[in-house]
Amino acid sequence: MEVVELGPAHAEALLRFFGSLPEGDLTFIEEEVTDPAVVRSWADGAGGGRRFVAMDGDEVAGYVAVRPLPGWSAHVGEVRLVVSPTRRGSGLGRGLARQALVTAVGDGLAKLVVEVVAEQGAALALFTDLGFTGEALLRDHVRDREGNLRDLMVLAHHVDETWAGMATVGLPEALGEDVD
CB 17, CB 84: distance < 8 Å = yes
pLDDT at 27 over 60: yes
Position 180 scores a pLDDT of: 45
The full set of domains in the chain, from first to last, is: 2-174 (3.40.630.30)
Position 168 scores a pLDDT of: 47
Highest mean pLDDT among 23-27, 78-82, 141-145, 172-176: 78-82
pLDDT at 43 over 80: yes
3-state secondary structure the chain: CEEEECCHHHHHHHHHHHHHCCHHHHHCCCCCCCCHHHHHHHHCCCCCCEEEEEEECCEEEEEEEEEECCHHHCCEEEEEEEECHHHCCCCHHHHHHHHHHHHHHHCCCCEEEEEEECCCHHHHHHHHHCCCEEEEEEEEEEECCCCCEEEEEEEEEEHHHHHHHHHHCCHHHHCCCCCC
Position 90 scores a pLDDT of: 92
- CA–CA separation, 5 and 55 (whole Å): 10
- CA–CA separation, 65 and 52 (whole Å): 6
Q: What's the mean pLDDT in 19-45?
A: 84
Which residues have C-beta within 8 Å of that of residue 2, sequence separation ≥ 6? 54, 55
- CA–CA separation, 150 and 148 (whole Å): 7
Higher pLDDT residue, 117 or 174?
117
Per-residue pLDDT tens over the stretch 73-120: 999 999 999 999 999 989 999 999 999 999 888 889 999 999 998 888
pLDDT at 30 over 50: yes
